[in-house]
């Protein structure tokens, strides 16, 4: 009969998961998972008390999740795993806009907005009006008409709408479509840096690691066009103090945008902005699907 010991256990577990795995890919993933998980436990000689703390931590992480919050994505983000998956699946090719993590606060179904539409559904005194404009192009640099841009961001108080019980629905979210020249324009607030939620297990992990919880200010985009690979990315605010220590390791130099004082008064007025505002000009380059 089987007599499991430190010396044979990993191989025995691998064999049990590989022998009858329902696909070759699953067998590959199971083997790698078991070998690395066991190697970690052996390397640190995990104590029984530490094992039980890990069980409690993972349980609490699952139980913190609901339709408005995904603590396991946040854990993946703060351990750099989400960014690693992004980097593996979207290698930098020298062409097209770089991708970064989706984050836990994307919501499908944001309202369609016209060219120059305003996604602010309330006006906080501390919020700085901001015009965002740019073009979407294909791999040949040709403008793409009818590309869609899903846009979302935090409010000036540092929260996404879904984190606040009394925020207007779809505040600072919208879906835009490029015009015949491949251009988009929208009105929003200049984003602010903000902490990821720290009142759950991930907050305790960050505290144990002595890490701050802040993300540099950014606007999220998902840019899509027929025949192109969907682009999930952020545009970060130049000069943000957290660009060098993003809590979720998602910054890329090419994704930093300049938020300048707005000077195109005509365009601003057409978008309903009369007073002082920031202006971000940012173009997105898409790559062919399956490329």
Q: By CB under 8 A, what part of segment 223-252 binds a copy of itself?
A: 243-246, 249-252
Q: Taking a C-beta distance cutoff of 8 angstroms, is the pair 191, 151 a contact?
A: no
- Check residue 40 for interaction with a copy of itself (CB under 8 A): yes
By CB under 8 A, residue 21 contacts a copy of itself: yes
Query: Which range in 13-21, 180-188, 266-274, 280-288 contacts a copy of itself by CB under 8 A?
Result: 13-21
Determine if 3 is a binding residue for a copy of itself (CB under 8 A). Answer: yes
Binding a copy of itself (rule: CB under 8 A), the pick from 20, 24, 226, 290 is 20
> Quick one: which of 106, 99, 40 has its CA closest to 73?
106
Nearest approach, Cβ of residue 33 and a copy of itself (Å) = 6
Query: Does 5 interact with a copy of itself (rule: CB under 8 A)?
Result: yes
The two tokens of residue 275 are 């007073």
Question: In angstroms, what is the minimal distance from the CB of 57 to a copy of itself?
Answer: 9
User: What is the footprint of a copy of itself within residues 169-228 (CB under 8 A)?
Assistant: 207-211
User: By CB under 8 A, is residue 289 in contact with a copy of itself?
Assistant: no
Query: From CA 212, how far away is CA 245, in angstroms rounded?
Result: 9
Residue 69 found at the interface with a copy of itself (CB under 8 A): no
Nearest Cα to Cα of residue 160 among 183, 186, 192:
192
125 binds a copy of itself (CB under 8 A): no
Q: Who's near 99: CB < 8 A, 6+ residues apart?
A: 86, 90, 231, 232, 233
* The three-state (H, E, C) secondary structure of 106-135, written as one string: CCCCCCECCCCEECCCCCCCCCCEEEEEEE
Sign of CA dihedral 254, 256, 260, 265: positive
Told to check if 22 binds a copy of itself by CB under 8 A, we report yes
């Amino acid at each position: 009969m089987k007599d499991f010991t430190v010396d044979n256990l990993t191989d025995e577990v691998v064999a049990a998961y590989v022998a009858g795995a329902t696909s070759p890919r699953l067998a590959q993933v199971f083997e790698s998972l078991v070998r690395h998980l066991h190697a970690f436990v052996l390397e640190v000689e995990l104590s029984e008390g530490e094992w039980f703390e890990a069980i409690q931590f993972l349980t609490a992480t699952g139980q913190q999740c609901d339709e408005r919050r995904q603590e396991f994505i946040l854990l993946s983000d703060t351990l750099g795993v989400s960014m690693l998956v992004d980097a593996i699946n979207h290698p930098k090719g020298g062409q097209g806009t770089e991708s970064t993590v989706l984050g836990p606060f994307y919501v499908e179904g944001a309202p369609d907005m016209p060219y120059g539409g305003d996604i602010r559904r309330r006006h906080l005194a501390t919020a700085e009006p901001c015009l965002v404009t740019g073009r979407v192009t294909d791999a040949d640099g040709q403008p793409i008409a009818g590309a869609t841009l899903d846009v979302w961001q935090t409010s000036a108080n540092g929260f996404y709408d879904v984190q606040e019980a009394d925020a207007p629905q779809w505040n600072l979210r919208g879906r835009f479509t490029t015009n015949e020249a491949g251009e988009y324009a929208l009105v929003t607030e200049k984003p602010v840096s903000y902490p990821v939620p720290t009142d759950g297990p991930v907050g305790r992990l960050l505290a144990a690691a002595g890490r701050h919880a802040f993300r540099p200010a950014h606007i999220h985009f998902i840019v899509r066009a027929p025949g192109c690979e969907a682009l999930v990315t952020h545009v970060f605010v130049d000069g943000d103090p957290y660009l060098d220590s993003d809590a979720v390791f998602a910054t890329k130099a090419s994704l930093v945008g300049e938020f300048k004082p707005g000077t195109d008064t005509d365009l601003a007025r057409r978008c309903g902005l009369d007073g002082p505002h920031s202006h971000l000009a940012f173009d997105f380059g898409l790559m062919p699907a399956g490329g």
